[in-house]
């Protein structure tokens, strides 16, 4: 077993961290203070291939693997959680579900503009009264000839007011609970579709979070993703992708907390000595490093399983649970290392603390993941095969241009 990154992965890591340090970090503090989304980063992220990193070249993507997605997610969150969220939602929760569940016609129509950044996408599952309990959703989709008429509200939707493509879920059969949920791809500008922004968030100030309202939105059958009643499975498989990105990003924010804490601890002196020489400060730094090393292994394992085409719901849940909890602890310790200065946005660690709090809530709370892992441990939960599995990474096929003959 080789734990070393390949030369290609090392190049991706350098490129992504350079982007975080040179493009994200110089501007993100003001965006965080002003609660504004950094639109200026989107063309640059698209140019570098971040928005379609693990989509095949024939669909407009970079043709790289899921490990590359994890590396980029880590680096972006080293800069700020808000920027990493764009990749997790746009790619993990929207483009990858189309790649996994879409027809060939849908892949060819929807994926290239997403990979090139011509469209920005979001994911609408959570509702005012349905968060962890997805089956409690009240949004409906009524069949009307070859179309569907959608009505309902979605809440706490990342990129809702930035996106122009929306993967939303509604009940086509209200009598079947989760089995009656279906997925649909909506486009901004359709009659009856409106969005807005939620103000007053504790953290991720530079990310757009809001709501989606659907009032008699007419959706053609060609925009239904998967079969009727497959929406719950599509949503859960999408969350496997997003949770992977969240976990990788949490490793990045832990690295940021450690780097900034080491730098400060070596410079700050009390009683004539740098505080890095005091054992209780060293303990906090050592705990951060321990969390980084353990979290990195969990993320790499999940990414490796994705590359092999092996179901990874348990492993991705574990990575998300551990890494986000650990990141919150690391950020809390980083503020403590910085003392009173850590409580001010003069230093980045207070922003990291606010941002990590959101990460233990979205994409499944830590409590939900605790229950999920207990169910696996007790043998009460078993993953069953799905009609469409996330494709395994095939470097030859994924990097082939449109029209090139690909043979096994």
Catalytic residues: 363
Say how many CA atoms lie within 13 Å of 99 toward its Cβ: 30
Question: Strand, coil or helix: what is 289?
Answer: helix
Rounded-to-integer distance, Cα 67 and Cα 303, Å: 5
Mode of pairing for the β-strands spanning 181-187 and 147-158:
unpaired
List of residues 6+ apart from 285 with CB closer than 8 A: 258, 261, 262, 265, 276, 337
List of residues 6+ apart from 233 with CB closer than 8 A: 226, 386, 387
Rounded-to-integer distance, Cα 172 and Cα 243, Å: 27
Please name which of 126, 2, 125, 121 lies closest in space to residue 55, comparing C-alpha atoms: 121
Q: From the centroid of its chain, how far is CA 308?
A: 20
Rounded to whole angstroms, the maximal C-alpha distance in the chain is 79
Rounded-to-integer distance, Cα 134 and Cα 179, Å: 11
**Residue 162 buriedness (CB in 10 A; 0-12 / 13-18 / 19+):** buried
- Terminal-residue alpha carbon distance, the chain: 25
Question: Strand, coil or helix: what is 225?
Answer: strand
List of residues 6+ apart from 342 with CB closer than 8 A: 334, 335, 336, 349, 350
Helix (H) or strand (E) holding 235: helix 231-267
Produce one character per residue of 294-329: b if its CB has 16 or more CB atoms within 10 Å, e if not: ebbebbbebbbbbbeeebbbbbbbbbbbbbbbbbbb
């Amino acid at each position: 077993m080789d734990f070393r990154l390949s030369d290609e992965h090392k190049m991706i890591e350098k490129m992504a961290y350079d982007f975080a340090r040179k493009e994200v970090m110089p501007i993100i503090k003001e965006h965080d203070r002003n609660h504004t989304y950094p639109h200026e980063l989107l063309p640059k992220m698209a140019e570098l291939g971040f928005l379609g990193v693990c989509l095949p070249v024939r669909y407009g993507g970079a043709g790289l693997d899921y490990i590359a997605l994890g590396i980029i997610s880590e680096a972006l969150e080293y800069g700020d959680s808000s920027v990493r969220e764009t990749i997790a939602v746009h790619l993990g929760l929207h483009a990858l579900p189309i790649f996994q569940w879409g027809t060939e016609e849908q892949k060819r129509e929807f994926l290239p503009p997403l990979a090139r950044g011509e469209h920005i996408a979001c994911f609408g599952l959570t509702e005012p009264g349905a968060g962890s309990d997805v089956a409690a959703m009240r949004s409906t989709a009524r069949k009307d000839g070859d179309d569907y008429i959608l009505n309902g509200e979605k809440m706490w939707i990342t990129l809702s007011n930035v996106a122009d493509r929306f993967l939303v879920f509604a009940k086509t059969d209200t009598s079947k609970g989760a089995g009656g949920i279906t997925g649909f791809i909506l486009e901004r500008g359709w009659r009856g579709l409106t969005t807005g922004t939620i103000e007053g968030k504790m953290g991720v100030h530079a990310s757009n979070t809001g709501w989606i309202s659907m009032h008699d939105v007419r959706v053609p059958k060609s925009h239904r993703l998967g079969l009727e009643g497959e929406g719950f499975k599509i949503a859960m498989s999408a969350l496997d992708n997003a949770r992977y990105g969240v976990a990788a990003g949490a490793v990045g924010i832990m690295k940021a907390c450690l780097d900034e804490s080491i730098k400060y601890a070596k410079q700050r002196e009390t009683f004539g000595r740098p505080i890095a020489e005091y054992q209780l400060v060293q303990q906090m730094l050592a705990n951060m490093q321990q969390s980084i090393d353990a979290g990195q292994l969990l993320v790499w394992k999940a990414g490796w399983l994705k590359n092999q085409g092996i179901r990874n719901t348990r492993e991705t849940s574990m990575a998300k649970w551990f890494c986000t909890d650990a990141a919150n602890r690391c950020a809390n310790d980083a503020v403590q290392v910085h003392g009173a200065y850590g409580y001010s946005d003069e230093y980045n660690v207070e922003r990291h603390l606010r941002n990590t709090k959101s990460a233990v809530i979205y994409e499944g709370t830590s409590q939900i993941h605790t229950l999920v892992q207990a169910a696996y441990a007790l043998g009460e939960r078993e993953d069953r095969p799905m009609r469409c599995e996330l494709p395994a990474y095939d470097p030859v096929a994924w990097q082939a241009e449109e029209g090139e003959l690909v043979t096994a």
